[in-house]
């Protein structure tokens, strides 16, 4: 069994809040006087994280995510409970944390590397690599107080990941910076994963959590509500944040029940739950196996997602999302390189304006492959009367390689003067793309690649070309 590198047992954290600065001193002088309001940021957290695991931590603002990470890193001590951490820990907790604003970028590199256990010689050997990754040019020799937020993150991430950490903690830092730098960061994270490093990753980006993490936990109001696969945790998180206020307590109760059932059904601890992020136990098992030798389009009524997330309706309802052939036949087993129509109906229970519709196709792991939405004002419906039903159709060519995929559907309109989801369904339908003997493509997307080979024969100093058609 893989060794646990992080272990939290019954960890709680309480912060004291005083109305006046002097009350803190009075309480120290007179311990029997209680002048502070107690705020419990964490309640009885039990968590085991194995070496090589990438744990996603999700939750609403104020749920206790950052407090949990600070306790693991050691910048905060728990009020109760015990914490054990094995190995070198490197963390990006806050923008610019650990940087002295008066020091130059170069000086901060050496200063932070020393804190993380590197001596001056080791840091000097890695400096060029760190500077190249950060790619901030001559600013490396300027005081960091002159840096933009993006430059802060570039340098901080470069230092944190270049010191070969056993455990890397990232708290929303990757939300700052351009797309190219974010992609470089994710590539570095994947390199750490491949090297057996452990990562704690906090993000509000559901796709990033599902794609990067091997397991996840859901925090809310200082409580660890759920430990499960990333896809299950993200689906419950989305249900929680989009739920009507009067349903939040009920949903939290249901999530606690699921968490308890998960513990009872398996003797494995959190680090052993679904380390293969390409699989999920919430979908019908037969659809994750190899496709049958069947090359006709057809519909299987048993192929239904078991983890659909539906936003609260705000005046509209999406009905019967499904895929049809161009002749109108309903199918969920598709053929590659063929044309299909994804369609659903929307019934409006209240009048609204600026109505737009959208769709999205995702992989089993939750990666967003492709979609469409009517964004331009010329594409939206200017006004819809209550009682109206609109049929939405998105025609597409199935350029996907064999596998199982999931569909979203959404409708946006004006609510109290603001554009908002009137209804949205996540993982509302699923379909399989069957094998295509005409395709030689790999990966997820079929780019209709047609290989062309030319054989060059060198005989008697004469070069002859022979095309593949003659082979």
What CATH number has the domain bearing residue 408?
2.70.50.60
Element (DSSP H or E) covering residue 427: strand 418-434
Same domain flag for 367 and 422:
yes
Same domain flag for 265 and 297:
no
134 located within any domain: no
Same domain flag for 327 and 195:
no
Residue 92 has pLDDT above 80, yes or no: yes
Task: Report the alpha-carbon distance of residue 187 to residue 369 in Å, rounded.
Answer: 19
End of a domain among 241, 272, 303?
A: 272
Number of H-type helices and E-type strands within the chain: 9, 22
33, 195 Cβ separation under 8 angstroms: no
Same domain flag for 427 and 316:
yes
Same domain flag for 72 and 214:
yes
pLDDT at residue 438, as a whole number: 64
pLDDT in tens, 360-369: 999 887 788 9
Element (DSSP H or E) covering residue 171: strand 167-171
455 located within any domain: no
pLDDT in tens, 416-426: 888 899 999 99
pLDDT at residue 429, as a whole number: 95
Same domain flag for 57 and 181:
yes
pLDDT at residue 281, as a whole number: 39
207 located within any domain: yes
Mean pLDDT over each residue of the chain, to the nearest integer: 84
In a 3-state reduction of DSSP, which class is residue 433?
strand
pLDDT at residue 327, as a whole number: 95
Helices (H), 201-327: 206-212, 230-241, 248-265
| The two structure tokens encoding residue 165 | 């950490």
442-449's contacts with Cβ under 8 Å and 24+ in sequence apart are 442/401, 443/401, 444/363, 444/369, 444/400, 444/401, 444/403, 445/369, 445/399, 445/400, 445/401, 446/336, 446/337, 446/399, 446/400, 446/401, 447/399, 448/337, 448/399
Residue 459 has pLDDT above 70, yes or no: no
364 located within any domain: yes
Residues 6+ apart with CB under 8 A from 424: 310, 311, 318, 408, 409, 410, 411
Strand partners, 427: none
Task: Report the alpha-carbon distance of residue 424 to residue 245 in Å, rounded.
Answer: 18
In a 3-state reduction of DSSP, which class is residue 231?
helix
Stretch 7-24: mean pLDDT? 86
Residue 260 has pLDDT above 60, yes or no: yes
Same domain flag for 366 and 263:
no
Q: What is the dihedral of CA 4, 253, 209, 322, to 10 degrees?
A: 140
> Which residue would you say has higher pLDDT here, 7 or 27?
7
Same domain flag for 260 and 329:
no
Same domain flag for 419 and 347:
yes
Ranges assigned E (strand) in 278-351 = 309-310, 316-325, 330-331, 333-335, 339-348
pTM: predicted TM-score of the whole model, two decimal places: 0.71
Direct distance between the N- and C-terminal alpha carbons of the chain, in angstroms, rounded to an integer: 53
Element (DSSP H or E) covering residue 434: strand 418-434
pLDDT in tens, 19-51: 777 777 777 777 777 777 888 999 999 999 999
Give the residue numbers spanning the domain of 204.
Answer: 4-87+166-272
End of a domain among 242, 272, 302?
A: 272
231, 366 Cβ separation under 8 angstroms: yes
Look at the chain and report how many structural domains it folds into: 2
Residue with tokens 């009517």, as numbered in its chain: 374
Same domain flag for 240 and 172:
yes
Task: Report the alpha-carbon distance of residue 54 to residue 270 in Å, rounded.
Answer: 11
Task: Report the alpha-carbon distance of residue 123 to residue 162 in Å, rounded.
Answer: 9
| The two structure tokens encoding residue 215 | 């397991």
Q: What is the CATH number of the domain that holds 31?
A: 3.40.50.300
Stretch 238-263: mean pLDDT? 88
354, 464 Cβ separation under 8 angstroms: no
Residue 351 has pLDDT above 80, yes or no: yes
Task: Report the alpha-carbon distance of residue 390 to residue 367 in Å, rounded.
Answer: 29
Pairing of strands 316-325, 330-331: antiparallel
Residue 370 has pLDDT above 50, yes or no: yes
Stretch 146-150: mean pLDDT? 86
Same domain flag for 302 and 198:
no
114 located within any domain: no
Stretch 80-104: mean pLDDT? 85
Same domain flag for 263 and 301:
no
pLDDT at residue 153, as a whole number: 84
């Amino acid at each position: 069994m893989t060794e646990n590198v992080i272990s939290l047992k019954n960890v709680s954290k309480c912060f004291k809040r005083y109305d006046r600065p002097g009350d803190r001193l009075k309480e120290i002088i007179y311990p029997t006087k209680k002048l502070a309001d107690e705020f419990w940021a964490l309640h009885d957290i039990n968590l085991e994280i194995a070496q090589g695991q990438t744990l996603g931590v999700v939750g609403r603002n104020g749920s206790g995510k950052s407090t949990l990470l600070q306790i693991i890193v050691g910048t905060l001590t728990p009020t109760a409970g015990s914490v054990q951490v094995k190995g070198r820990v490197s963390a990006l907790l806050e923008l610019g944390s650990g940087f002295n604003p008066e020091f130059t970028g170069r000086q901060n590199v050496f200063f932070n590397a020393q804190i993380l256990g590197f001596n001056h010689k080791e840091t000097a050997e890695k400096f060029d690599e760190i500077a190249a990754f950060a790619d901030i040019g001559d600013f490396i020799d300027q005081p960091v107080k002159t840096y933009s937020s993006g430059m802060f993150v570039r340098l901080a991430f470069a230092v944190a990941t270049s010191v070969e950490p056993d455990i890397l903690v990232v708290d929303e830092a990757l939300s700052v910076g351009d797309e190219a730098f974010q992609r470089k960061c994710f590539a570095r994270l994947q390199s750490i994963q491949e090297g057996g490093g452990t990562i704690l990753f906090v993000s509000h980006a559901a796709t990033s959590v599902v794609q990067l993490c091997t397991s996840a936990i859901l925090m809310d109001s200082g409580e660890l509500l759920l430990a499960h696969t990333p896809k299950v945790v993200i689906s419950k998180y989305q249900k929680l944040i989009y739920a009507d206020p009067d349903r939040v307590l009920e949903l939290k109760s249901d999530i606690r029940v699921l968490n308890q059932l998960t513990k009872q059904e398996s003797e494995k601890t959190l680090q052993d739950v679904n380390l293969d992020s390409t699989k999920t136990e919430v979908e019908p098992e037969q659809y994750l196996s190899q496709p049958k030798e069947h090359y006709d389009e057809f519909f299987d009524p048993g192929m239904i997602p078991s983890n659909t997330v539906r936003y609260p309706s705000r005046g509209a309802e999406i009905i019967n999302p499904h895929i049809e052939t161009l002749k109108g036949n309903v199918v969920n087993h598709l053929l590659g390189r063929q044309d299909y129509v994804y369609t659903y109906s929307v019934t409006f229970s209240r009048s609204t304006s600026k109505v737009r519709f959208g769709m999205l196709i995702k992989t089993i792991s939750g990666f967003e492959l492709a979609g469409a939405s009517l964004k331009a004002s010329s594409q939206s419906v200017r006004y819809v009367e209550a009682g109206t039903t609109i049929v939405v159709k998105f025609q597409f060519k199935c350029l996907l390689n064999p596998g199982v995929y999931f569909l979203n559907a959404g409708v946006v309109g004006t609510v109290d003067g603001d554009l908002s989801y009137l209804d949205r369904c996540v993982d509302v339908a699923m379909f399989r793309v069957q094998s295509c003997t005409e395709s030689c493509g790999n990966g997820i997307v079929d780019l209709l690649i047609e290989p062309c080979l030319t054989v060059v024969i060198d005989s008697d100093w004469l070069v002859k070309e022979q095309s593949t058609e003659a082979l």
